[in-house]
Amino acid sequence: MKTCLKISLLSHSPEPEKIIAAAAKLCYSNAGTKDILNGLNPEATDKFLNMLISMGHMSPIEHATFTFAAEGVSRSLTHQLVRHRIASYSQKSQRYVREGQFEYIVPPAIAANAAALAVFEQSMLHAQASYDNIADSLKETYLKEYLAAGKNPKAAASAAEKKAIEDARYVLPNACETKIIFTMNARELIHFCRQRSCERAQWEIREMSEKMVAQLKAIAPTLFQLAGPPCLYAPCPEGAMSCGKTNEKRAQYGVISQK
């Protein structure tokens, strides 16, 4: 069964831009926190954040956090996502949740190629059948062992199921759909979106990153002004490895191309 990506911003620090501005101002002020916060109207907050960003003073940005839920994504995507280590992750477990009829993600290049798609979908069917057969076979073996050891039938069946699927999952593909909730601070999010919105990122995580950028800018536009591919406001840092699509990326994000 095919599925599609859904990314939702579940929660975030209240007034993230104001909190960050207050944290930064505290470094240079004798005033108390309450007085600093009271002096930060939207205009003052925006001005101070722009100054911070222009100076590259990024540590105060870590005080704001944002929590996302991703569904309809592949294990291939989450393997890349968790490489961003300054974050917290909670993912659907294949040890504890049986993949009774797993959904899967089809790469666009495969979907556009009839021959490749036929092979891909057949592989998904084979993977499901192999998973089910292995899980059922192992469960039967473990159930006998647990019953013989004196476990009651209900506890034995539950333990046998878990023990079986944790090994059966080895035949599941990277295309297998998963769900994950993750929390990052604003500084890490800017880094993530600059890396993963780039055309050199893989299509699936790039699509997720682009959706995240839109949601983040709706909440904190000044804070996340640099979220997005690094070529938006400066030359592409990839050098000879550049995708050559700087103007296209700027148009996509509504940035006036620079001469």
Could you give the residue numbers annotated as active site?
196
| 139 in Cβ contact with 161 (< 8 Å) | yes
**What is the C-alpha to C-alpha distance for residues 54 and 248, in angstroms, rounded to an integer?**
25
Q: Which is nearest to 191 in space by CA: 236, 229, 243, 218?
A: 229
Helix (H), strand (E) counts: the chain: 10, 4
Distance of alpha carbon 187 from its chain centroid, rounded? 15
> C-alpha angle with apex 236: 67 to 215, nearest 5 degrees?
20
**What is the C-alpha to C-alpha distance for residues 182 and 232, in angstroms, rounded to an integer?**
26
Q: Which is nearest to 168 in space by CA: 134, 139, 141?
A: 134
> C-alpha angle with apex 177: 171 to 179, nearest 5 degrees?
120
The residue type found at 9 is L
CA dihedral 119, 124, 127, 133 (to 10 degrees): -120
For the beta carbon of residue 249, count every other beta carbon within 10 angstroms. Answer: 20
